[in-house]
Amino acid sequence: MTRTLEVAACIVGAGPVGATLAATLAAADLPVAVVDSAPLPPMELPEFDGRAYAIALTSKRLLDAAGVWEHLPAPPCPILEIRVADGRPGEPASRLHLHWRAAEVSEEPFGYMVEARALRVALNARLPRMANLAVFAPARAEAERRAEGAVVRLSTGEEIRARLVVAAEGRNSPLRRQAGIRAATLDYRQIGMVGAFAHERPHRNVALEQFLPNGPFAQLPLSGPGGFGTATLPHASAFVWADRTEIAQRMLALPDVAFGRELRRRLGEHLGEIRPIGRRWSYPLSALHVSRWWDTRLALVGDAAHGVHPIAGQGLNLGFRDVAALAEEVIAAWNGGGDPGAPEVLARYQARRRGDTLLMLSGMHALERLFGNDIAPVRWARRLGIAAVDRLPGLKRAFARQAMGLTPGVTGLLAGQRLRR
């Protein structure tokens, strides 16, 4: 006999965005199901694998409200300062730089560096303990969506009747394709490389963004000392490095020692000796935006709805903003006796997210185009521009608040509001 479960929302995809949405809705006492093709425990790697997330302040507030943040296995690393400079590989960064200090903007850090494995541990600890949340992993899902409701049939034999289905399966979302929602993409002809390295000198909680001719290079502080490396290299940072495809492929093929030398050519000397640790991860870089964010009984979140250049590390934070907006609309409809999958609810969600995402996508694209060349007049103009912003407190503060996610009009979960039950 088929087991049938009735829920307010069924989320397909238990990655960081989908799992956080599931936890947020369940924490507000809504009946929820989350489905993923992979089992949850294997998502949780026992060893450091080189990946880490830059979690903006507003995203941290969302994770806290969902009850996820308290389950992190170790304190994350706060980002207290951000330094931005223009440069070229093998040369010192320009002295015309932009330097932000969180203390000049807020009583809280810009954000936190959280290891990918740590966030997965926290999500895996939170989800199974929630009374209103059913987790189906591993399981494959097929959704049938009609105006009156949705039915999600699982490969395990269970059937889920939901008022709303949420596509959180990533850029190649099958649910998005099934709904016939068009996605426009732009190939940057670059590869993004991410990983980590141990280093000799402390990072002092400073994040560095170097704009290089073939793509940006970022160094992001990780917690320590003592958790990585050796006695001579006791500190650690993550890196996010974008480069032209042919160059990146050559870099990825290098042994650790040679790869470390290339990292240092872009990083500079301020952290002393370095050594790569963990795995290197890579992926082709492209921008993605969808024609619409919803269909009958369906909402898109995270990478299923958008993709931006990692030049400012905002991809996951955009997904968390989706979570906050959709959760607030769904919770309000449910608590008011309404239908959380009704067209007017999903239209309000799209209205809240489309403008912000388009602004971020166009802004990141403009930055990539502005800094992605080595034409001398343009290079000097952008260096003077960076230095000018550093000397304009009002504009500098506005950019800093944008990095923290504190855009004008931020309310609700992103502003630190607790969930109402």
CA neighbor of 107 nearest in space, from 416, 412, 386, 387: 416
Mean pLDDT in the chain? Answer: 87
Distance CA 127, CA 348 (A): 27
**What backbone torsions phi and psi does residue 408 show, to the nearest 5 degrees?**
-55, 135
> What's the pLDDT tens digit per position in 56-65?
999 999 999 9
Task: Give the Cα-Cα-Cα angle 50, 254, 272 (nearest 5 degrees).
Answer: 60
- Whether the predicted pLDDT of 385 surpasses 60: no
Give the residue among 331, 51, 71 at the shortest CA–CA distance from 192. Answer: 51
Cα separation, 300 vs 99, in Å, equals 36
- Taking residues 408-419, what's their average pLDDT? 80
Say whether pLDDT at 91 is over 80. no
pLDDT for 88 equals 74
Domain residue spans of the chain: 4-185+287-415
Q: What is the mean pLDDT of residues 106-123?
A: 92
Please give the full DSSP string across 282-331, using - where no structure is assigned: EEEEEEEEES-SEETTEEE-GGGTEE--GGGS-HHHHHHHHHHHHHHHHH
Q: Is 307 exposed, middle or buried (0-12, 13-18, 19+ CB in 10 A)?
A: buried
Residue 366 has pLDDT above 60, yes or no: no
pLDDT at 326: 98
**How much is the average pLDDT of 121-138?**
95
Q: Report how far residue 320's alpha carbon sits from residue 305's, in angstroms, rounded to the nearest whole number.
A: 12
Q: Which pair of tokens denotes residue 358? A: 């388009």
Quote the CA–CA distance of 197 and 257 in Å, as a whole number: 11
Dist CA 325 CA 371 (whole Å): 32
CA distance 405 to 278: 29
Question: What's residue 17's pLDDT?
Answer: 97
Per-residue confidence (pLDDT) for residue 150, from 0 to 100: 98
3-state secondary structure of 152: strand
Where does the pLDDT of residue 383 fall: very low under 50, low under 70, confident under 90, or very high at 90 and above? Answer: low
- Does the pLDDT at position 373 exceed 70? no
Residue 331 main-chain phi, psi, to 5 deg:
-65, -45
pLDDT of residue 68: 97
Q: Which residues contact 400 (CB under 8 A, 6 or more apart)?
A: 82, 100, 102, 104, 105, 110
Residue 134 backbone dihedrals phi, psi, to 5 degrees: -105, 125
Task: List pLDDT tens digits, range 209-263.
Answer: 888 888 889 999 999 655 565 678 899 999 999 999 999 999 999 999 999 999 9
Spatial contact of 395 and 387, defined as CB atoms under 8 Å apart: no
The type of residue at 340 is P
Question: What was the pLDDT predicted at 363?
Answer: 67
Tell me what percent of the residues of the chain surpass a pLDDT of 90: 64
- The whole-number pLDDT of residue 386 equals 59
Give 10's pLDDT tier (boundaries 50, 70, 90). Answer: very high
Q: Mean of the pLDDT values across residues 409-417?
A: 82
Mean pLDDT of all residues in 151-177: 97
Between CA 187 and CA 391 the distance in angstroms is: 35
User: To the nearest whole percent, how much of the chain has pLDDT over 70?
Assistant: 83
- Look at 181 and 91; give whichever has higher pLDDT: 181
pLDDT per residue as tens digits for the range 335-365? 999 999 999 999 999 999 998 888 777 766 5
Q: How far apart (Å, rounded) are the C-alpha atoms in residues 310 and 327?
A: 25
Q: Mind giving me the DSSP string for 201-264?
A: S--TTEEEEEEETTEEEEEEE-S-SSSSS-SSS-EEEEEEEEEEHHHHHHHHTS-HHHHHHHHH
Q: Among 112-121, 309-318, 395-404, name the most confident range.
A: 112-121
Q: State the Cα–Cα distance between residues 7 and 143, nearest whole angstrom.
A: 14
- CA–CA separation, 8 and 164 (whole Å): 6
Please say if the pLDDT value at position 283 is more than 80. yes
In this prediction, residue 315 has a pLDDT band, given cuts at 50, 70 and 90, of confident
Q: What is the pLDDT of residue 356?
A: 85
pLDDT of residue 11: 98
Contact between 298 and 178 under an 8 Å Cβ cutoff? The reply is no
12-50 pLDDT tens trace: 999 999 999 999 999 999 999 999 999 987 777 767 777
Write the pLDDT tens digit of every residue in 168-190.
999 999 999 999 999 999 898 99
Fold entry, domain 4-185+287-415: FAD/NAD(P)-binding domain (3.50.50)
Residues near 65 by beta carbon (within 8 Å), at least 6 away in sequence: 24, 27, 413, 416, 417, 418, 419
